[in-house]
Amino acid sequence: MSTAHEPLRPHDLLWISELEDLRSTSEVPGWASREWLLHAPVVVRREAVSEQGVVPVGLRGRARSERFAAHVARERIRLSVTPEALAKGRSWRTKAALATLPCVRALSRIAPELDRLRLTWGITGSVGFALASGVSTLRQDSDLDLLLRASKPLTRDEARSLLALLQASPARIDMQVDTGHGGFALAEWAGNADRVLLKTGRGPLLVSDPWVGDAS
């Protein structure tokens, strides 16, 4: 884990000290208790923020319906961990309680393949949350969410080959590609559509080249 002085990017997991550190125009839901936040990290959201030193974050609870958007001051973050660090840590190998879940079996199978391809990748979603916090909300039908950092363009054929590799796993794997301009679904880039949906801090954009960002 890193300290709060490291650069933060979407999908990074953060631990805050107090419930009062959260800023929101809405009331914080009851499930987001002080006790929960002692163990459960918040995740950096993709949102452009004008106020310096403020980070957009998302909270998750035990149920899929328990999600809440807020902001937190950078100075109130005590620890952070990146999706890439979770992948490199290989902590799922030591968590026997998770070993039989299809999503974790899929992770065990795909991790060496992604490393063999020398990709910069990480673990996000519910699996990343469980590995980082030790609090599992995983189920037999949980997906495996992965992140691919790709500052250089990935060809359509490369995307199709990578998607085929992911689809051979024992659980559904959703991979998001982060270009530095935003994030998009690998499955979309592997498809035949001329444009893909790029999620940016300004909102979603339909683009023909996600490495340019605002290309039409």
Average pLDDT on 162-173 reads 96
Same domain, 138 and 149: yes
Same domain, 185 and 148: yes
Same domain, 110 and 138: yes
Which tens digit of pLDDT belongs to each residue from 116-154? 999 999 999 999 999 999 998 899 999 999 999 999 999
Total domain count for the chain?
2
What is the reported pLDDT for 1? 57
**Three-class DSSP labels, the chain:** CECCCCCCCCCCEEEECCHHHEECCCCCCCCCCHHHHHHCCEEECCCCCCCCCEEEEEEECCCCCCEEEEEEEHHHEEEEECHHHHHHHCHHHHCHHHCCCHHHHHHHHHHHHHHHCCCEEEEEHHHHHHHHHCCCCCCCCCCEEEEEECCCCCCHHHHHHHHHHHHCCCCCEEEEEECCCCEEEHHHHCCCCCCEEEEECCEEEEECCCCCCCCC
Last residue of a domain, one of 36, 57, 81: 81
Same domain, 95 and 17: no
- The mean-pLDDT minimum among 159-163, 176-180, 186-190, 212-216 falls in 212-216
pLDDT level of residue 215 (50, 70, 90 thresholds) = very low
Same domain, 188 and 96: yes
pLDDT level of residue 51 (50, 70, 90 thresholds) = confident
Catalytic residue set: 143, 145
Whether 216 is in a domain gets the answer: no
Same domain, 38 and 65: yes
Which tens digit of pLDDT belongs to each residue from 92-115? 999 888 999 999 999 999 999 999
Whether 124 is in a domain gets the answer: yes
Is residue 75 predicted with pLDDT exceeding 70?
yes
Last residue of a domain, one of 81, 98, 127: 81
Whether 160 is in a domain gets the answer: yes
Please list the residues that pair with 54 across neighbouring strands.
73
Hunting for tokens 């980082």 — which residue is that? 132
Whether 8 is in a domain gets the answer: no
What is the reported pLDDT for 3? 52
CA distances (Å), origin 178, targets 5, 12, 15, 169 = 22, 13, 23, 22
Alpha carbon distance 75, 10 (integer Å) = 18
What is the reported pLDDT for 48? 87
pLDDT level of residue 30 (50, 70, 90 thresholds) = very high
What is the reported pLDDT for 109? 96
What is the reported pLDDT for 216? 40
Contact between residue 11 and residue 147 where contact means Cβ atoms under 8 Å apart:
yes
Q: Mean of the per-residue pLDDT values for the chain?
A: 93
Closest CA to 144 of 155, 131, 158, 159: 131
Please list the residues that pair with 145 across neighbouring strands.
124, 174
Average pLDDT on 150-175 reads 97
Q: For residue 135, give its domain range.
A: 83-207
Whether 70 is in a domain gets the answer: yes
Last residue of a domain, one of 81, 113, 130: 81
What is the reported pLDDT for 213? 55
Same domain, 24 and 107: no
What is the reported pLDDT for 47? 93
Measured at the CA of 23, the angle between CA 20 and CA 27, to 5 degrees, comes to: 80
Instruction: At 58, give phi and psi (nearest 5°).
Output: -125, 140
Same domain, 28 and 126: no
The pLDDT > 90 percentage for the chain reads: 83
For the entire predicted model, the pTM comes to: 0.92
Same domain, 103 and 198: yes
Same domain, 96 and 71: no
